[in-house]
Amino acid sequence: MPVTCKLVEGISSLEEAVLMADTIRSEFRRYRHELIGEDTELSASFGVAAYGREHSMKSAFQLADKTLYQAKANGRNRVCRGTVEVPGTNLLEKAA
């Protein structure tokens, strides 16, 4: 399964990023296509983390990666968030 990372600017909270990821997850699950079968349900898991003044981009990627694997381990088709949020951060979303 491919893994995609997306830096999302303009979102002011981790909760807002989680809601965005959950909307994408929900829409993806509803998608149907004749080549994969109309009855086939797709799933997507997301790990969402924040970065900013107190957390580097590297640590945000590591946290997003860790939470993505938590989402997959907990049954897939879900969004997990990193546990640290700092005011004035940008958000990093990792999906597979």
What is the model's pLDDT at position 2?
53
Burial class (CB in 10 A: 0-12, 13-18, 19+), 53: exposed
pLDDT at 22 over 60: yes
Q: Write down the H helix ranges in 1-96.
A: 14-30, 57-73
Q: How far apart are CA 67 and CA 5, in angstroms?
A: 13
CATH of domain 13-84: 3.30.70.270
What is the model's pLDDT at position 78?
93
Q: How far apart are CA 1 and CA 39, in angstroms?
A: 20
pLDDT digits (tens, 9 = 90+) for 29-82: 888 888 888 888 888 899 998 877 777 788 888 898 999 999 999 988 999 998
The dihedral region occupied by 2, where left means phi > 0, alpha psi between -120 and 50, and beta the remainder, is beta
Q: How is the chain split into domains, by residue range? A: 13-84
